[in-house]
């Protein structure tokens, strides 16, 4: 299998049928199957991954749950987003976006994605249409780190901008004339109106800063990044939880006044750590989230950020807060299975099942854990040799329920006596029904030639000898046998085209 796959990946430029995930492949992880292992298809222009699974468990698998994988990097020609099914096969692929997750707005799930030029966030519905475009206001730049949809149906955006120090409340050393400020805005999705705005320079001091970033602050182009807000969430009380990476600090902000109610971690930490520092010594963290009505916070702890000693390896953690006694205690840790240091980006998600998903940013890798911290699944999206090199990277990886109803029809291709069929984004296809007809248009009289189960993104169908009709088409059926859509018809060649079809 491995030698065949190596030849397939390194020698041929032919379109490929589905290649299943590999298992603990050492050649994969040293780059023998390319620095960006991916696959092409006969019937679609979509690009799919080739994964290397290091650990697996049935507890990670759920047919209604899809893994959201935005990707880009030095080896990636065009950034894109993939939805992968529970077996690791492609379900949907698109280009033009660099981040993605699935969130709910007014009772409907949307794929929330940042445009490739970082000018707006798109809300993409189940028909894969951009329904909303959300931008920052008041002259601030939209920041690539996050858009979160709030319980009240608004959008929370991270923002940044370069400002003269004397136009802020921040007391920087006198030699610094400009700073890169950061904060967040709450936006009305329908109108684009800024409903609330908060900036870090009003609430953090220079003494809380840990991390050196290049830039002397003498000009706008060299303004140092003191705050680096990278996550924002609004709770049911109307207050906000934010993460300031360069301060190694998570803060709780009053939703009416903007005042900081408390800070967790960092030099201005306000909590007594009952775990001997394990709950508050996070370093360059990302993706802070509330759970259980604010009693628990999850944090992706990079453990590694320029300017501060390494405290890694990278981990996810949950901590228990007591805001009356002002104490905090480590609940669970989720240590990187490869002992990687994620020096930027990354994500932590607690699923409804209680499982925890960590995405390791510039390390093309994600892992899933049981709630107690034991490792369940560990998946490589790219070779481990090139982790943290920028060859292929993600920002966050998440898992969510999704039902896709693409507006285009299924796609069909014929090659060497076989039919290939796929439907980019369709999640409810169970089987494919092959038909022969004498008319070029689909919908007239046809002869049923067989049903074939869908497995993976693209299904290969062997056509019976001497099929009825000059044309073939394929219909997509759901589990109840209802037709969801049909391909166009293709003329069946009287003589099969000569060539080799490679299969994983």
- Asked if 133 and 122 touch (Cβ cutoff 8 Å), the reply is yes
Bin 354: left if φ > 0, else alpha if -120 < ψ < 50, else beta.
Answer: left
Q: What pLDDT score was predicted for residue 79?
A: 94
Helix (H) or strand (E) holding 26: helix 26-29
Q: What pLDDT score was predicted for residue 212?
A: 67
CA 102, CA 110: separation in Å to the nearest integer? 6
The number of angstroms, rounded, from the C-alpha of 237 to the middle of its chain's C-alpha atoms is 28
What does the mean pLDDT of the chain come to?
A: 92
Average pLDDT score over residue span 479-487: 97
Biggest alpha carbon–alpha carbon distance for the chain: 85
Q: What pLDDT score was predicted for residue 17?
A: 64
CA 287, CA 145: separation in Å to the nearest integer? 9
| CA distances (Å), origin 106, targets 149, 189, 193, 424 | 10, 11, 18, 26
Bin 465: left if φ > 0, else alpha if -120 < ψ < 50, else beta.
Answer: beta
CA 295, CA 319: separation in Å to the nearest integer? 8
The number of angstroms, rounded, from the C-alpha of 94 to the middle of its chain's C-alpha atoms is 13
pLDDT digits over 177-209, tens only?
Answer: 999 999 999 999 999 999 999 999 999 999 999
pLDDT digits over 217-241, tens only?
Answer: 999 999 999 999 999 999 999 999 9
List b or e across 365-385, with b for residues whose CB sees 16 or more CB atoms inside 10 angstroms. bbbbbbeebebbbbbbbbbbe
Q: What pLDDT score was predicted for residue 251?
A: 98
Q: What pLDDT score was predicted for residue 468?
A: 84
Task: Answer whether residue 126 shows pLDDT above 50.
Answer: yes
**What's the angle, vertex CA 102, arms to CA 96 and CA 107, rounded to 5?**
125
How confident is residue 4, by pLDDT bands cut at 50, 70 and 90?
very low
Other CB atoms within 10 A of residue 307 CB: 11
Handedness of CA 379, 146, 232, 246 (dihedral sign): positive
CA 327, CA 431: separation in Å to the nearest integer? 55
How confident is residue 416, by pLDDT bands cut at 50, 70 and 90?
confident
Lowest mean pLDDT among 6-15, 152-161, 386-395, 439-448: 6-15
Q: Which residues contact 15 (CB under 8 A, 6 or more apart)?
A: 40, 41, 42, 413, 415
Q: What pLDDT score was predicted for residue 501?
A: 34
CA 461, CA 442: separation in Å to the nearest integer? 19
Tell me which residue of 287, 291, 289, 271 sits closest to 279, measured CA to CA: 271
> Above pLDDT 70, what percent of the chain?
94
pLDDT digits over 48-60, tens only?
Answer: 999 999 999 999 9
Lowest mean pLDDT among 17-21, 127-131, 458-462: 17-21
How confident is residue 467, by pLDDT bands cut at 50, 70 and 90?
confident
pLDDT digits over 290-326, tens only?
Answer: 999 999 999 999 998 877 888 889 999 999 999 999 9
Q: Which residues pair with 296 in a beta bridge?
A: 291, 320
Average pLDDT score over residue span 252-266: 98
Lowest mean pLDDT among 250-254, 269-273, 302-306, 325-329: 302-306
Q: What pLDDT score was predicted for residue 393?
A: 94
17 versus 281: the higher-pLDDT residue is 281
Q: What pLDDT score was predicted for residue 387?
A: 95
Q: What pLDDT score was predicted for residue 449?
A: 94
Q: What pLDDT score was predicted for residue 13?
A: 35
The number of angstroms, rounded, from the C-alpha of 28 to the middle of its chain's C-alpha atoms is 22
Two tokens, residue 415: 């090659």
Q: Are strands 272-273 and 327-335 parallel, antiparallel or unpaired?
A: parallel
DSSP secondary structure string, 204-241? --GGG-----S--SSSGGG--BS--EEEEEE-TTS-EE
CA 64, CA 428: separation in Å to the nearest integer? 10
Taking the CA atoms of residue 349, residue 354, residue 355 and residue 356 in that order, the dihedral angle to the nearest 10 degrees is: 30
- Asked if 158 and 145 touch (Cβ cutoff 8 Å), the reply is yes
Q: What is the DSSP letter of 187?
A: E
Task: Answer whether residue 165 shows pLDDT above 80.
Answer: yes
CA 249, CA 311: separation in Å to the nearest integer? 15
Task: Answer whether residue 379 shows pLDDT above 60.
Answer: yes
| CA distances (Å), origin 96, targets 110, 120, 137, 167, 424 | 17, 12, 23, 36, 16
Q: What pLDDT score was predicted for residue 371?
A: 96
This prediction's pTM: 0.93
- Asked if 471 and 500 touch (Cβ cutoff 8 Å), the reply is no
492 versus 11: the higher-pLDDT residue is 492
């Amino acid at each position: 299998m491995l030698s065949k796959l190596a030849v397939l990946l390194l020698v041929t430029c032919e379109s490929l049928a589905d290649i299943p995930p590999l298992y603990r492949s050492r050649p994969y992880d040293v780059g023998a199957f390319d620095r960006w292992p991916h696959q092409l298809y006969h019937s679609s222009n979509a690009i799919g991954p080739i994964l290397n699974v290091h650990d697996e468990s049935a507890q990670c698998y759920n047919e209604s749950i899809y893994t959201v994988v935005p990707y880009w990097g030095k080896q990636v020609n065009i950034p894109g987003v993939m939805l992968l099914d529970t077996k690791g096969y492609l379900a949907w692929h698109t280009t033009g976006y660099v981040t993605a997750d699935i969130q709910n707005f007014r009772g409907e799930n949307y794929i929330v994605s940042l445009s490739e030029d970082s000018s707006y966030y798109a809300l993409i519905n189940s028909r894969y249409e951009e329904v909303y475009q959300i931008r920052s206001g008041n002259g601030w730049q939209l920041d690539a780190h996050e858009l979160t949809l709030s319980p009240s149906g608004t959008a929370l955006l991270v923002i940044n901008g370069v400002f003269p120090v004397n136009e802020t409340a921040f007391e920087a050393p006198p030699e610094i004339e400009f700073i890169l400020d950061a904060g967040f805005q709450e936006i009305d999705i329908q109108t684009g109106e800024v409903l609330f705005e908060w900036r870090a320079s009003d609430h953090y001091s220079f003494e809380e800063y840990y991390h050196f970033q290049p830039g002397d602050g003498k000009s706008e182009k060299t303004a140092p990044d003191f705050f680096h807000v990278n996550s924002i969430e609004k709770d049911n009380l109307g207050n906000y939880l934010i993460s300031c990476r360069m301060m190694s600090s998570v803060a709780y902000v009053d939703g009416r006044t903007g005042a900081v109610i408390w800070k967790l971690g960092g030099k201005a930490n306000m909590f007594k750590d009952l775990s001997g520092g394990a709950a508050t010594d996070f370093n360059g963290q990302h993706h802070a989230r509330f759970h259980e009505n604010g009693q628990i916070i999850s944090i992706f702890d990079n453990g590694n950020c320029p300017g501060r000693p390494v405290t890694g390896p990278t981990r996810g953690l949950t901590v228990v807060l007591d805001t009356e006694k002002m104490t905090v205690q480590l609940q669970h840790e989720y240590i990187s299975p490869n002992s990687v240091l994620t020096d930027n980006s990354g994500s932590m998600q607690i699923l409804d099942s209680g499982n925890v998903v960590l995405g390791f940013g510039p390390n093309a890798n994600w892992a899933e854990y049981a709630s107690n911290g034991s490792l369940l699944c560990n998946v490589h999206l790219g070779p481990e040799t090139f982790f943290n090199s920028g060859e292929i990277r993600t920002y966050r990886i998440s898992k969510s329920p999704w039902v896709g109803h693409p507006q285009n029809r299924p796609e069909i291709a014929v090659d060497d006596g076989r039919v290939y069929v796929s439907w980019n984004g369709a999640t409810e296809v169970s089987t494919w029904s092959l038909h022969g007809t004498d008319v070029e248009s689909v919908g007239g009289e046809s002869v049923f030639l067989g049903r074939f189960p869908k497995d993976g993104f693209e299904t290969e169908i062997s056509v019976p000898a001497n099929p009825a009709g000059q044309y073939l088409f394929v219909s997509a059926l759901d589990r109840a046998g209802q037709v969801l859509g049909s391909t166009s018809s293709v003329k069946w060649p009287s003589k099969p085209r000569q060539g080799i079809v490679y299969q994983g």
